A = this chain, B = another copy of it.
Amino acid sequence: MSGKLAVVGLGPGDARYLTREALAALDEADALYGYGPYLHRVAPRSGQVRHPTGNSEEGARARAALAHAARGGKVAIVSGGDPGVFAMAASVCEEMAAGPPEWRALDMRIVPGVTAMLAVASRAGAPLGHDFCALSLSDNLKPWELIERRLAAAAEAGFVIALYNPVSQARTWQLAHAFTLLGRHLPGTTPVIFGRAVGRAGEGLVVTTLAEASAIAADMATLIIIGSRETRVLARDGKAPLVYTPRAVSSVPA
């Protein structure tokens, strides 16, 4: 009997965001691995064993799931959002590269999902309607100096910026520094969106400006989108404003 490993994206929140492919992959598995709160989103099925792990244990989780599949199990690792965006797919590939040869021979597949920036953008309008980048603000795995360089390059080149992992309990000063740095490259009126827990209980969306952004609270469940010079805000009577980046560029910066 040969094992299988599926790395499954749950989307940003509850079961509304699951694709049929993800549902089928979860149903096929005899064992589920994942960060506890993500596993909690998956409807229980009898005979399926769950292996919850902590938030920062990606490598250990990937190794345990690979070893289980190599023993012949039908295993799924669940990931919030899309597994390929700052999530489990890269960990699994890294551990396959470093591990025993039988891990590389496994039947492994990745099931995509709706990543957080797409869900937040959908609530705000179309801020990612033109060229954009996705950047993790965590300096746990890369130097802060490199993050600063990337923020400056993205803002100068006119990319809208989706910030993943803006804050954690251990990383408290980075987000304010990022806003200050971006303020040197973009007008203070640049639209900024804070999307918190989009698709889940307690969902919240705040539309503000770069000049005011430091006053808005963010946490581990927040994704932030910073507009470009082209991004606009359309006010609506009795409704939240729409934030969008037009498909056409009206002027090219010098």
Contacts and interface: CB of A to CB of B under 8 A. Distances in A.
A165 to B, nearest CB: 11
A158 interface: yes
B91 A249 contact: no
Contacts of A232: 97
Given A21-B16, A93-B242, A131 B136 contact: yes
User: A interface, by DSSP: helix, strand, loop or mixed?
Assistant: mixed
B131 A245 contact: no
A20 interface: yes
Nearest to A232: B97
A118 B112 contact: yes
Contact of A158 (B21, B118, B146, B244): B146
Contacts of A122: 82-84, 89, 109-112
Contact of A142 (B16, B58, B104, B249): B249
Chain A interface bracket (under 10, 10 to 19, 20 to 34, 35 or more): 35 or more
Contacts of A71: none
Contacts of A143: 249, 252
Contacts of A215: none
Contacts of A85: 118, 128-129
* Minimum-distance CB pairs A-B, first 5: A90-B129, A93-B244, A133-B133, A89-B126, A153-B157
